[in-house]
Structure 1
Amino acid sequence: MAKISFLLSAPAADKPTPIFAFLSFAGKRVKVYAGRSIHPRQWDKGEQKALTRGYPRNGPINDWLELLSKRLATCYDAHAAAGTVPTAAELRALAEFEIPDEPEQVLSAPGGLFWTRYEEWVNYTRAAGTVRTAQAHATAGRHLREFSEAQGYAIDFDTLTTTVGDRWAAYLLNVVGLTDNTINKHLGRLKSFMKWAAKRGYTENTALDRVSWARREPDVMALSAAELTALEALPLPVGSRLDKARAWFLLACYTGLRYSDLVSIRPQHVRPATATLPAHLRLTAKKTRAVVNVPLSAAALSIVNRLLAGELASVKNQPITNPVLNRFLKELGKIAGIDAPVEVIRYRGGIADVATAPKYERLTVHTARRTFVTLNLGKGMSAEFVMKLTGHTSYKSFQRYVNLTPQRVAEEFARFHEMPEQPK
């Protein structure tokens, strides 16, 4: 005799969580993803079904769970009669939604296949090695689920109209409080998913292609040569957390590499100096998959050697995580006196929200990449050469890193024009 029960993946979560069916028989327990998610507060644990009082849209979820339960039981009974047992793969296949001879059940379960495919897309992205991109895709999906729940609108391949796209963007702006740039990115992620799904024959809907949200990039911040020198000269105990954080940051300043590329450096990426070439790093950028060759100065090579020797690892013998590193950098910047006031401009709905903060409060590991570009351009390197080092494939994306501050503009102008003496 088989026993079938339904449980939540994360019953204590404060967001929708997947529903699983458990089939217990002959000492085995098979877990079958039901293809539905629900907020735990809308789930009746005792009855093992969705609450419908006050949640009229949960009725189709219970209809689907009942149908899935019947399918699982029928499959088990057929095997029992033949003296065999069903395989886990066979049972899980019963949760597929594309059942030609049962169209009414498919229609009564909106969104299940959409979210299954969305999760497949996130996992596909993660498997390709772009973990942070996969996390961003998952975040966009979470916002879309929350929008669906708040608006009482079932999200599915065929229900993603231009109107829904516009409403989701407005929800991200007015309810979630995101900036224009982040809204633009989330819309882009959803569009990318729909194109990915279309290539696999999951949908033909292209309505979201007509939805847009103006992207207004914030100003790029970089350290000046003097600020970088102050950070380099800061006396710190060797091997301390701040010493390690500074080493990671300086390596990014010297090479222009992203954090994801810094933490992937291995011995095979270091090419020793030859008669014609200096020591350099040769690796494939995680984000763009472009092969970059970055010459190593003496200071950069020293830090790379420390990294490979394990001297820059955290207490758990792992690289310092990005969020922790950013926190340490703000502390370092404050100690080093990198406190010039800078404007922080965020756009929401086209309206600029302007605030002023000490520069160290905005210091992140990505500031190092921008510093690399700004300082090398200031030394006279061509944009094409710097792009080759950073792995940028388009000048449009690279241009954001060109930090033309008023001081930089004045210094560059003075190189070509005679300027009056400044008052003392």
Structure 2
Amino acid sequence: MAKISFLLNAPGADKPTPIFTFLSFAGKRVKVYAGRSIHPRQWDETERRALTRGYPRNGAINDWLELLAERLSTCADAHLAAGTVPTAEELRALAEFETPAEPAPVAVAPGGLFWQRFAEWVVYTRTAGNVATAQAHATAGRHLREFAELNKYAIDFDTLTPTVGDRWTAYLLEVAGLTDNTISKNLARLKTFMKWAAKRGYTTNTALDRVTWAQREPDVLTLTIAEMAAIESLPLAVGSRLEKARAWFLLACYTGLRYSDLVSIKPQHLRPATATLPAHLRLTAKKTRAVVTVPLSARALDIVNRLLAGELASVKNQPITNPVLNRFLKELGQLAGIDTPVEVIRYRGGIADVTTCPKYERLTVHTARRTFVTLNLGKGMSAEFVMKLSGHTSYKAFQRYVNLTPQRVAEEFARFHEMPE
């Protein structure tokens, strides 16, 4: 996966200096100038973007950097899926024009049209706005190509037989060292690609449908009411990085929204209270495209108002990124004393690999969504109602978010049965 991070050519200069990025790809590093210059005083070294507070014109620079990063990532993903390497000239040409252009055709790798169509699928997914999914598709393609090169297989639409599928999953387990859950996801991605290709008339091969791999989901991690209260009551300076991170996390706990939906909240999504409805958010979930209506408690509404006022951004109009937020959450969890030992179980070939760590080390922003589901079910809400709030479209997917701990089971049992003192 290509890594793109913008830098200043002369960060210590007392005059505008060019912005560039090093694109690391397939063991090579290409320097690509962004075609923009900025004074170092107007540059945020942490976010690697132009400051906009007090410099409103710098918003156009950030817009261009985002567009350029998208172009470079799309080009790199397409080449990665096709097994080719972009030239320095091709990458630098992407920074020469500001108007959107069709991506340059990628050379077809040996083995027919399969890899060209796979690259087309990756670009199609990215263009649809699913950037993270496109990167995961490209990773699955890389695993398949490395398997083919190691075993001298010519991968093509017609050569993907159940036997090849079985050998690929064995390779993912024994050579790539992936967990059962990740192997299952990679196999599912390849099947999805074959179905996508079939709809476009590229293939009629459905042999991979007969290949399976047991998916063993890791244990669900959620916070208890007491642990949430510990985070809520932490004395943190308003506006500090940890206080902002806490606000993002608690909003996810109060609403059940995914990170991708939290960062997409705009003023038009906030609906005021009416005679029949409290203040609520109404938006389209990024992942499922389902329209969700989320009632807001007083605490949640306060955080939403702060978000819309720009008070929770790391840089104005720039939310805290998911990886940075996850890192901050581990600090918060440690400060709040959420250090109960928890088991981390990873399955490889059906064999459990068990390790133990403090609970705060496993905190992520997605923990909040699982906490929302589990705590609301514990309060007596029906599964159908919680699914409506969380935007889950299938009960099977919803079940993975429910954490029935031994303590929860005992509490529920005690509610319906007389227990001896």
CA–CA distance in structure 2, aligned partners of residues 221 and 212 of structure 1: 27
1:31-75 CA-to-partner distances (Å, cap 9, x unmatched) read: 9x99963479xx9x9xxxxxxxxxxxxxxxxxxxxxxxxxxxxxx
Superposition pairs of residues 23-422 of structure 1, within 5 angstroms: 37-38=83-84, 110-111=110-111, 113-315=113-315, 317-421=317-421
Distance 1:144 1:337, change over 3 A: same
SS in structure 2 of the partner of residue 345 of structure 1: strand
Partner of 1:13: 25
1:105-144 CA-to-partner distances (Å, cap 9, x unmatched) read: xxxx633522221121112112222222222112211222
Distance 1:154 1:314, change over 3 A: farther
Unpaired runs of at least 5, structure 1: 1-9, 18-30, 46-87, 98-108
> Contact 2:82/2:118 (CA < 8 Å) preserved in 1?
no
CA–CA distance in structure 2, aligned partners of residues 350 and 405 of structure 1: 23
1:317 CA displacement:
4.2
Partner of 1:79: none
CA–CA distance in structure 2, aligned partners of residues 122 and 177 of structure 1: 24
SS in structure 1 of the partner of residue 25 of structure 2: coil
Distance 1:196 1:394, change over 3 A: same
CA–CA distance in structure 1, aligned partners of residues 325 and 228 of structure 2: 17
1:259 CA displacement:
0.7
1:419 CA displacement:
2.0
> Contact 1:111/1:157 (CA < 8 Å) preserved in 2?
no
> Contact 1:345/1:353 (CA < 8 Å) preserved in 2?
yes
- Mark the structure with the bigger radius of gyration: 1
CA–CA distance in structure 2, aligned partners of residues 16 and 291 of structure 1: 44
Shifted more, 261-270 versus 164-173: the winner is 164-173
CA–CA distance in structure 2, aligned partners of residues 412 and 119 of structure 1: 51
1:360 CA displacement:
0.5
**TM-score in terms of structure 2 length:** 0.75
SS in structure 2 of the partner of residue 381 of structure 1: coil
1:96 CA displacement:
8.3
Letter in 1 for 2:26: D
SS in structure 2 of the partner of residue 407 of structure 1: helix
SS in structure 2 of the partner of residue 292 of structure 1: strand
> Contact 1:162/1:208 (CA < 8 Å) preserved in 2?
yes
1:140-166 CA-to-partner distances (Å, cap 9, x unmatched) read: 112222222332323222222222211
Distance 1:151 1:314, change over 3 A: farther
1:417 CA displacement:
2.0
SS in structure 1 of the partner of residue 186 of structure 2: helix
SS in structure 2 of the partner of residue 415 of structure 1: helix
> Contact 1:255/1:294 (CA < 8 Å) preserved in 2?
yes
Structure 1 segments (4+ residues) deviating >4 Å:
33-36
**TM-score in terms of structure 1 length:** 0.75
Distance 1:418 1:384, change over 3 A: same
CA–CA distance in structure 1, aligned partners of residues 245 and 373 of structure 2: 20
Shifted more, 360-369 versus 410-419: the winner is 410-419
CA–CA distance in structure 1, aligned partners of residues 189 and 354 of structure 2: 27
Letter in 2 for 1:410: A
1:328-368 CA-to-partner distances (Å, cap 9, x unmatched) read: 11111011000111111111000011111111011111100
Distance 1:378 1:117, change over 3 A: same
CA–CA distance in structure 2, aligned partners of residues 256 and 199 of structure 1: 35
Letter in 2 for 1:121: W
CA–CA distance in structure 2, aligned partners of residues 37 and 185 of structure 1: 21
CA–CA distance in structure 1, aligned partners of residues 318 and 393 of structure 2: 31
> Contact 2:107/2:116 (CA < 8 Å) preserved in 1?
no
% of aligned pairs identical?
Answer: 80
Distance 1:314 1:151, change over 3 A: farther
Letter in 2 for 1:415: R
Count of residue pairs brought into register by the alignment: 339
Alignment RMSD (CA, Å): 2.7
CA–CA distance in structure 2, aligned partners of residues 119 and 357 of structure 1: 40
1:316 CA displacement:
6.7
CA–CA distance in structure 1, aligned partners of residues 234 and 341 of structure 2: 21
